[in-house]
Amino acid sequence: MRAPAQHIAGLERRAEIPPGAGDRFHGYGVMGLPFRSGHVLALRRFPASSLGPGYRSVWHCDPAGRWTFFQDQPADLACTRFFGPAVGEVLERDIAIAWTGPRGFEVRVGDGELEWTVHLASTAATRLLSWAGAVLPGWAWRSSRVLAAMSAVAGPALRAGRVRLAGTAPNGQAFAARPHTIWVASESRAVLRGADLGPMGPAPRQARIGELLIPQRGLVMAGRATFAPATDPAARSAPGPSGPGPERLDASDSAGDTRPVLELRPNCECCDRDLPPDTDAARICTFECTFCAECAEARFGGVCPNCGGNLVERPARPAAALATAPASSVRVTKDHAAC
């Protein structure tokens, strides 16, 4: 197998916009690299973008869960097009990526605002998953079941916590990642605005942005990514480990056991009406697609337009439980024909 630097150099020269509809990208990135301090960094480098010029973007999540995006293109041409509603600050900066050896690179943002080095390694798991990514036919990458199965296998195999290759971005687009080569980060050091982020290692709590789960181990992937518009039928059933609904929180995240916790979405995905966690006006399906009572009955006749299941009253979560299992803040809206 070629060294990472050789592989990426070839990708930079030959990257092509993937065929199909929606927003499409070809490139590589650090899917996520957590530090024991609770900070998380990620990198996206797409030489080929259906939006226009290729771009670079660096993501930072602080221990409080606040995201900052640095990017070298305007918001509508970079990652904030999809993740913007969940980002606290967006900064347009020059971003330089320089390979320092066959398995190492450094990232520099602005005038030294961030200096970040990463060294890569291959393992038996990365080699196996890279082989699978290379031989899978095109139809398999378009299958929600295949992506869900790969997600379920990749997390434990890579010792990276939960991994999700498909889901819904905070702006409502359905995303799908299609990696063909994977490495792990063996070493990393980052200094952000003069502060050393410390040793890499699992964050105290796995970070996420919308339905995208940030790995609990530094993973670097080369491949393709697509974002289907929220109005596209594919966006109505963003695939995940359990079907078209979002990644569910576990009660172990807050209450010490492993029972799944119902996601309480904050709005009707048809009319965008606010639906507080204690309201009796929310209607849901088994995949937690959420509508107000009026839209559910008058527009859809009690049937979910995404999955075809029945819409029922969403149970209210007691106020005391919201402290440890809070309602979602990610608003989902979709342009259904009846809306």
Q: Identify whether residues 231 and 262 lie together within a single domain.
A: no
Question: What are the pLDDT digits (tens) for 254-301?
Answer: 434 444 578 898 999 899 999 999 999 999 998 888 999 999 999 999
Given 204, 235, 266, the domain boundary residue is: 235
Q: Identify whether residues 198 and 314 lie together within a single domain.
A: no
Q: How much of the chain exceeds pLDDT 70, in percent?
A: 91
Range of the domain at 194: 4-235
How confident is the model at residue 15, as a pLDDT? Answer: 93
Higher pLDDT, 142 or 150: 150
- 56 pLDDT higher than 50: yes
Higher pLDDT, 51 or 248: 51
Band of pLDDT at residue 328, cut at 50, 70 and 90: confident
Instruction: Kindly report the CATH number assigned to the domain that includes residue 157.
Output: 2.40.400
How confident is the model at residue 230, as a pLDDT? Answer: 63
Structure tokens at 8: 């990426």
Q: Identify whether residues 186 and 286 lie together within a single domain.
A: no
Given 172, 205, 235, the domain boundary residue is: 235
Q: Identify whether residues 222 and 259 lie together within a single domain.
A: no
How confident is the model at residue 260, as a pLDDT? Answer: 56
Q: Is residue 121 part of a domain?
A: yes
Q: Three-state DSSP class for 6?
A: helix
How confident is the model at residue 113, as a pLDDT? Answer: 95
Nearest to 339 by CA among 291, 302, 282: 291
The number of domains in the chain is 2
How confident is the model at residue 143, as a pLDDT? Answer: 84
Strand-pair partners of 101: 104
By the 8 A CB rule, do 33 and 218 touch? yes
Prediction pTM value = 0.68
Range name among 23-27, 92-96, 118-122, 243-247 with the lowest pLDDT average: 243-247
Q: Is residue 209 part of a domain?
A: yes
Higher pLDDT, 273 or 144: 273
- How many other C-beta atoms are found inside a 10 Å radius of the C-beta of residue 165? 28
Strand-pair partners of 213: 208
Structure tokens at 278: 């204690």
The whole-angstrom distance between residue 288's C-alpha and the CA centroid of its chain comes to 19
How confident is the model at residue 166, as a pLDDT? Answer: 93
How confident is the model at residue 283, as a pLDDT? Answer: 96
Q: What's the distance, Cα to Cα, between the start and end of the chain in Å?
A: 51
Question: What are the pLDDT digits (tens) for 184-204?
Answer: 999 999 999 999 999 999 988
The one-letter code for the residue type at 69 is F
Q: Identify whether residues 115 and 221 lie together within a single domain.
A: yes
Q: Is residue 148 part of a domain?
A: yes
Average pLDDT, integer, range 56-84 = 94
Average pLDDT, integer, range 124-131 = 93
Q: Is residue 167 part of a domain?
A: yes
Q: Is residue 242 part of a domain?
A: no
Q: How far apart are CA 51 and CA 59, in angstroms?
A: 19
Q: Identify whether residues 225 and 295 lie together within a single domain.
A: no
Q: Identify whether residues 115 and 218 lie together within a single domain.
A: yes
Q: Identify whether residues 293 and 187 lie together within a single domain.
A: no
How confident is the model at residue 232, as a pLDDT? Answer: 41
Q: How far apart are CA 101 and CA 110, in angstroms?
A: 22
Q: Identify whether residues 167 and 145 lie together within a single domain.
A: yes
Element (H, E) at 319: helix 319-322
Q: Identify whether residues 287 and 205 lie together within a single domain.
A: no
Given 201, 235, 269, the domain boundary residue is: 235
Which phi and psi (to 5°) does residue 124 adopt?
Answer: -60, -40
Q: How much of the chain exceeds pLDDT 90, in percent?
A: 68
Q: Is residue 243 part of a domain?
A: no
Q: Is residue 241 part of a domain?
A: no
- Kindly state the DSSP code that residue 23 receives in the 8-state scheme: E
Nearest to 3 by CA among 106, 99, 136, 137: 99
Q: Is residue 212 part of a domain?
A: yes
- Average pLDDT for the chain: 87
Q: Identify whether residues 162 and 268 lie together within a single domain.
A: no
- 70 pLDDT higher than 60: yes
Q: Identify whether residues 228 and 291 lie together within a single domain.
A: no
